[in-house]
């Protein structure tokens, strides 16, 4: 394995070794191997109730049964989980088979799943997965261990390419099935470009087909949406007549990219589409991490984790008189 080879040029086993080395040496080193920074949260195991502290406790944690019984406001308390169950849903729909930088979106999705798996793979933690593929959804039960994680990554790398069938229903349906399978509260990581299930032009105002299933997942679990994009989805280069193919439907079209007005309209429509996706993820209650095929995905994950840690610390600081946090 040469030092200069890109991930796409390596064999599946070489890719797995490269990803594991990258994560354990660079990503895991920067984050000290702690999954707690992936999303903020105190835990999910019930541990009783205590009196409500104004300005410090969230109203949504109110224990209404104890409050009614004692006539004094109480909140539920939780203990940090002794072990974490992580569920990963990796989208392998046709639009993921695209990339104009070092990686395709599908390969970047494999890197994201590998990062989640290795970061949450400490003793006792379990990982389950659902892989949306051309031949249906392949499911892996929640288990612990490096061998189990490598099996999931091999299945992702070996997944057949999806034909341009024009059927966008697989990804939203996979979210529904995952909600049924993921019983105990845990962490759910959805890796996708989130283009499936959008309305006809992808700009709204109709909500995406995946928004409601994702909202149901977020009601029971902590959800992280890893949004995979490519620069050519955001703007067109000036390269003359460009033949393009819709990976979802197989429709072909030639575009005269030399027209500046066309490129500007495309960039504006792409901006609206990305904003609509971000808004839908926000409404669903999901944290949002954007990874691009032309950027350092390790650095993007590190920035996200540190931002979540700051958010978590700020959310639990006691509020002093005058609204100032301690």
Do residues 62 and 203 both lie within one domain? no
pLDDT band at 6 (very low <50, low <70, confident <90, very high): low
Please check whether residues 54 and 165 belong to one and the same domain.
Answer: no
CB-based contact 276:270 (threshold 8 Å): no
* Structure tokens, 203: 């700009």
**Residues 236 and 267: beta-carbon distance below 8 Å:** yes
The pLDDT, as a whole number, for residue 243 is 84
Rounded distance between C-alpha atoms, residue 217 and residue 22, angstroms:
30
Which tokens hold the place of 59? 């109203």
What pLDDT was estimated at residue 307?
80
Residue 321 included in any domain: no
Q: Is the pLDDT score of 257 beyond 50?
A: yes
Q: Furthest-apart CA pair in the chain: how many Å? A: 74
Q: Residue 166 is part of a domain; what is its CATH number? A: 3.40.50.410
In terms of domains, do 181 and 165 share one?
A: yes
- Provide the residue range defining the domain that includes 66: 45-79
Q: Tokens 């406001």 belong to which residue?
A: 73
CB of 14 closer than 8 Å to CB of 48: no
184/298 same-domain check: yes
Q: How many domains are contained in the chain?
A: 2
Q: Do 96 and 200 fall into the same domain?
A: yes
**Confidence grade of residue 56 (pLDDT, cut at 50, 70, 90):** low
pLDDT of residue 141: 92
- Is 1 domain-assigned? no
Task: Note the pLDDT of residue 36.
Answer: 47
Give residue 204's pLDDT.
67
User: Which 8-state DSSP code applies to residue 26?
Assistant: I
**Cα(276)–Cα(281) distance, rounded to whole angstroms?**
9
Mean pLDDT of the chain: 80
The average pLDDT across 241-265 equals 83
pLDDT band of residue 78 (cuts 50, 70, 90) is: low
What is the rounded distance in angstroms from the CA atom of residue 215 to the CA atom of residue 210? Answer: 9
Look at 137-151, 156-170, 260-274 and tell me which has the smallest mean pLDDT: 156-170
Q: Name the pLDDT band for 304 (thresholds 50, 70, 90).
A: confident
Half-sphere exposure of 80 (CA within 13 A, CB side): 5
Angle at 198 between CA 192 and CA 203, to 5 degrees: 115
**In the chain, pLDDT over 70 holds for what percent of residues?**
77
Of the two residues 120 and 45, the one the predictor is more confident about is 120
Residues 285 and 169 in one domain: yes
> pLDDT band at 316, cuts 50/70/90?
very low
DSSP secondary structure string for all residues of 103-120: S-HHHHHHHHHHHHHHHT
pLDDT value of residue 285? 93
Task: Give 63's contacts (C-beta < 8 A, 6+ positions apart).
Answer: 49, 74, 75, 76
Asked whether residue 111 carries a pLDDT value surpassing 60, the answer given is: yes
């Amino acid at each position: 394995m040469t030092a200069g080879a890109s991930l796409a040029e390596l064999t599946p086993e070489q890719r797995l070794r490269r990803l594991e080395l990258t994560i354990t040496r660079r990503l895991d080193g920067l984050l000290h191997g702690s999954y707690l920074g992936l999303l903020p949260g105190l835990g999910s195991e019930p541990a009783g109730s205590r009196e409500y502290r104004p300005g410090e406790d969230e109203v949504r944690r109110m224990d209404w049964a104890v409050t009614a019984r004692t006539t004094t406001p109480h909140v539920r308390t939780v203990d940090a989980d002794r072990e974490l169950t992580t569920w990963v849903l990796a989208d392998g729909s046709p639009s993921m088979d695209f990339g104009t930088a070092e990686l395709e979106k599908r390969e970047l999705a494999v890197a994201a799943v590998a990062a989640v798996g290795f970061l949450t793979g400490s003793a006792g933690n379990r990982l389950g997965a659902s892989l949306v593929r051309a031949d249906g959804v392949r499911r892996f039960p929640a288990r612990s261990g490096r061998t189990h994680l490598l099996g999931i990554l091999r299945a992702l790398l070996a997944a057949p390419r999806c034909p341009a069938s024009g059927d966008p229903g697989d990804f939203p349906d996979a979210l529904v099935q995952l909600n049924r399978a993921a019983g105990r509260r845990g962490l759910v990581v959805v890796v996708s470009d989130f283009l499936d299930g959008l309305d006809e032009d992808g700009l709204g105002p109709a909500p995406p087909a995946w928004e409601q299933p994702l909202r149901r997942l977020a009601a029971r679990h902590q959800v992280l949406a890893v949004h995979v994009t490519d620069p050519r989805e955001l703007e067109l280069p000036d390269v003359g007549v460009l033949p393009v193919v819709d990976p979802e439907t197989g429709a072909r079209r030639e575009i005269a990219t030399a027209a500046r007005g066309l490129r500007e309209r495309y960039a504006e429509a792409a901006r609206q589409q990305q904003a609509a996706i971000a808004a839908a993820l926000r409404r669903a209650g999901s944290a949002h991490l954007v990874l691009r095929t032309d950027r350092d995905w390790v650095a993007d994950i590190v920035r996200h984790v540190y931002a979540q840690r700051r958010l978590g610390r700020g959310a639990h600081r006691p509020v002093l008189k005058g609204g100032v946090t301690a």
